[in-house]
Structure 1
Amino acid sequence: MPPRAVDAGIALACYLATVLPAHKVVETSPATLLLAALASIPLVWRRRYPFPVTVACGAGTIGLALVHGLGDMPLGQLVATYTLAAVAGARARLVGGVGTLAGTAFCVLYLSNKLGELAITMTLFVAAWALGTSTRARHDRIALLEERGRRQAEERESAASRERERIARDMHDILAHSISLIAVQAEAGPVLVRTNPERAERVFDTIGETARETLTQLRRTLGVLRGESGRAPQPDLDGVAELAERAREAGLAVAVEERGDPRTLPPELGLTAYRVVQESLTNVVRHARASQVWIRLEWAEDRLGVAVSDDGRGPGEPNGGHGLIGMRERVNAVGGTLRTGAGPDGKGFLVSATLPVGTHG
């Protein structure tokens, strides 16, 4: 049943309970009927306007007492008091509660001067107030639990979204890098078969190795969706040498330089550094038209610098699109920074990442 219909029924019941006993005390008058309506009919809006309803019912109750039309129990005011305690704000509860006590004391003491009746009436109002307070506390607990459940659902969805984005970045990096190298070497294969059969054989061997390694990494990445993420280690800086060798097989002159005191990185940082180098080399192979690439790893006390630069046509041309976006997201996720743009002296393209490693050393 709709709450408004329930409240209308309560208001009608309180009105009848107020008016009918009044027949036994005095002759019913229009003023009595009007005051009884004021003390009960506003209960229809008690949930939406608890404080004004309490004031209206209180005024009607006092008026009934003044014309000796108030029965043994002010039901309308009791319901209004319960509602005030259950749904009103703190300030409205304070003001309304004090006003209800004052009005009740006035009606009982000033008009009848019966302390026993005052005690009984006060007990009824205290019980109504306590019941309303209990209802409010229960609703607050329910709201708190619902809010907690909503936050947990949002956190789970956010975590799932981040995991999907991570898997998408991994698949992009793996496929873009491997397919780019395979395409370059496959295009060179037919020429080398005629001019340098021995090198052509190595190229085709590299294509096969690259394809197999790609499948392995894809299985490892997709295994996360089946709860198998811990079955195989993710690549890290130890794989940079292999990336450089594959780029050499694709026709690039690759130099790898490492400075400082190397140390073991946590898996997430190691994977991020590896992906920065991998995606940078992919962009060089696909877009840069470069002949030489420099990979530099610089270890400091609290950070690792990863830089990949080339002698290609620079940032004026397409430079990786979603790959650079994914690379930036990876670096930001571990608290690092990424800078991309023209290389030294404005030549070529430079990718430079700084990763925090001081707390992991």
Structure 2
Amino acid sequence: MHGPPLPPWARENRTGRYRRHRNDPGVGGAVSAALFQLIGAKSLAGEGRVFVELSPWVWALLLAGPVALLVRRRYPVAAFAVAAAASLVFATMAEPHWFWAVAPVIGLFHLAACGRRTAAIAGAGTAYGTYLLIFWGLRGHLDERALPGVRETVLVGIALTAAIFLGGIAKIKREQMAQLMKVRAERERAEEEQQRRQASEERLRIARELHDVIGHHLSLINVQAGVGLHLMDREPEQAREALSAIKTASSEALREVRAVLGALRTEDEAAPRQPALGLSRLDELTADAGLPVETVTTGEVRVLPAEVDRAAYRIVQEALTNVRRHAGPGATASVGVDYLPTALHLAVRNTFAGDAGAGDAAPGTGIAGMRARAQSLGGTLEAGPVDGGFLVSVLLPTGEGK
């Protein structure tokens, strides 16, 4: 599952961390403002365009704004106010120039970028109003060389407006990046959860397959071994047949275990392919069941979905295994397979032999496993004693017949 690619400013860098485009230039902004204002003042003073001597207090005034920018993340309004006030005071001592507006513009940009839009608009309005009051309302009290023209006055207003506008864009950009990071994190968590769920389901499927294979064949081996031991001295030929059945069952068990484990290989590995398990092998299954089994098939036989075909085979296999375990020697079984229009019905019924009773066939992990297998395909399973025996009835949906 892959979502849309992140924009360049949100992609991971080589260290694995996301690039951060901050809302403000950080410490670099304060340093840049200090350099611009100090170098600008020195340059203007050399040209005779600063009307006072660059004494320590004038240098301190020039540095007040940049220093205030260092705390603008914590005190954004105060930082802008200090930078604007210091710049306005110095502007009365020199000819109009853009360099003294660097610190206030950076402070105003940050104020808007951190979400304080109202404060930014109010601060910009106050600063611009004070600027107009000083340089236009009090023109007669200032050195004429410090008075700005209409062009400079308009540019100051544009600079303040642009700072608010760009700060707002930076805020939106930051929120979009945060949302993208959140979506990416949620998507990665969902992918990890899906992978864990798929791995868990695969482990459960493999465990169920191994249980079916090993349980069925070991049960058969156990029965035949008991028969062989019982007949070894009296009827060696029948004992030989029992040993042959044990060999066949063990070989079949090994083959099916290899088939199950082969499913763990990647697709590009050259794993030997075993015949698919399904009802096409039902006769083989009942012949090796270790007890007499009658099979009856009704309805129109058709190709079933692979998962339904395999589940039907495994359910019949487990049911016959339970018969051998619980019904006692001499028991018989019947398997009914009914192809319905949109479903498959299985009925495995057995008789009890000797003094074996229904209590010996009480539902256990075998029936629970069969029921879970049926329910995973949207089917149902009912199991319980009937007259003289035990019945397992399963209904598996197959969709429209082919």
- TM-score, normalised to structure 1's length? 0.72
Query: In the alignment, which residue of structure 2 is the partner of 1:311?
Result: 351
Whichever residue aligns with residue 366 of structure 2, its letter is: G
Query: In the alignment, which residue of structure 1 is the partner of 2:209?
Result: 170
- Of 301, 315, 339, the match for 2:382: 339
- Of 286, 310, 316, the match for 1:277: 316
Look up the SS of the partner of 1:353 in the other structure. strand
Look up the SS of the partner of 2:288 in the other structure. helix
- Of 116, 119, 131, the match for 2:155: 116
Any stretches of 5+ residues in structure 2 without a counterpart?
1-19, 42-56, 91-99, 133-152
Note the C-alpha offset of 1:331.
2.0
Query: In the alignment, which residue of structure 2 is the partner of 1:351?
Result: 392
On the 8 A contact 1:303/1:355 being kept in 2, the answer is: yes
Query: In the alignment, which residue of structure 2 is the partner of 1:238?
Result: 280
**In 2, distance between residues paired with 1:233 and 1:320?**
31
Sort the Cα spacing of 1:280 and 1:314 in 2 relative to 1 into closer, same or farther, 3 A. farther
Sort the Cα spacing of 1:319 and 1:246 in 2 relative to 1 into closer, same or farther, 3 A. farther
Look up the SS of the partner of 2:334 in the other structure. strand
- TM-score, normalised to structure 2's length? 0.66
**In 2, distance between residues paired with 1:211 and 1:162?**
28
Look up the SS of the partner of 1:301 in the other structure. coil
On the 8 A contact 2:262/2:271 being kept in 1, the answer is: yes
Alpha-carbon RMSD? 3.9
Note the C-alpha offset of 1:180.
0.5
Question: Percentage identity across aligned positions?
Answer: 30
- Of 173, 185, 189, the match for 1:134: 173
Query: In the alignment, which residue of structure 2 is the partner of 1:90?
Result: none
Matching of residue 323 in structure 1 with residue 366 in structure 2: yes
Note the C-alpha offset of 1:307.
1.9
Note the C-alpha offset of 1:235.
1.3
**In 2, distance between residues paired with 1:268 and 1:234?**
10
Sort the Cα spacing of 1:62 and 1:315 in 2 relative to 1 into closer, same or farther, 3 A. farther
Note the C-alpha offset of 1:310.
2.2
**In 1, distance between residues paired with 2:162 and 2:391?**
81
Q: Deviations over 1:4-40 (max 9, x none)?
A: xxx9x859969x97xx99x75999xxxx99xx98x97
Matching of residue 43 in structure 1 with residue 73 in structure 2: yes
**In 2, distance between residues paired with 1:118 and 1:349?**
93
**In 1, distance between residues paired with 2:385 and 2:109?**
80
Sort the Cα spacing of 1:159 and 1:168 in 2 relative to 1 into closer, same or farther, 3 A. same
Query: In the alignment, which residue of structure 2 is the partner of 1:201?
Result: 240
Note the C-alpha offset of 1:115.
4.0
Query: In the alignment, which residue of structure 2 is the partner of 1:156?
Result: 195
Note the C-alpha offset of 1:258.
1.7
**In 2, distance between residues paired with 1:219 and 1:211?**
12
Query: In the alignment, which residue of structure 2 is the partner of 1:89?
Result: none
Look up the SS of the partner of 1:264 in the other structure. coil
- After TM superposition, the structure 1 stretch with the greater mean CA deviation from structure 2, 114-123 or 227-236, is 227-236
Whichever residue aligns with residue 107 of structure 1, its letter is: T
Query: In the alignment, which residue of structure 1 is the partner of 2:342?
Result: 302
Matching of residue 78 in structure 1 with residue 109 in structure 2: yes
Note the C-alpha offset of 1:264.
1.3
**In 2, distance between residues paired with 1:258 and 1:64?**
93
Query: In the alignment, which residue of structure 1 is the partner of 2:46?
Result: none
On the 8 A contact 2:212/2:318 being kept in 1, the answer is: yes
Q: Which has the higher helix share?
A: 1
On the 8 A contact 1:309/1:343 being kept in 2, the answer is: no
Number of positions where the alignment pairs a residue of Structure 1 with one of Structure 2:
319
Q: Deviations over 1:155-203 (max 9, x none)?
A: 2332222222211111111111101111111101133345544443332
Query: In the alignment, which residue of structure 2 is the partner of 1:125?
Result: 164
Note the C-alpha offset of 1:354.
1.3
Whichever residue aligns with residue 347 of structure 2, its letter is: A
On the 8 A contact 1:283/1:319 being kept in 2, the answer is: no
- Of 102, 105, 116, the match for 2:121: 102
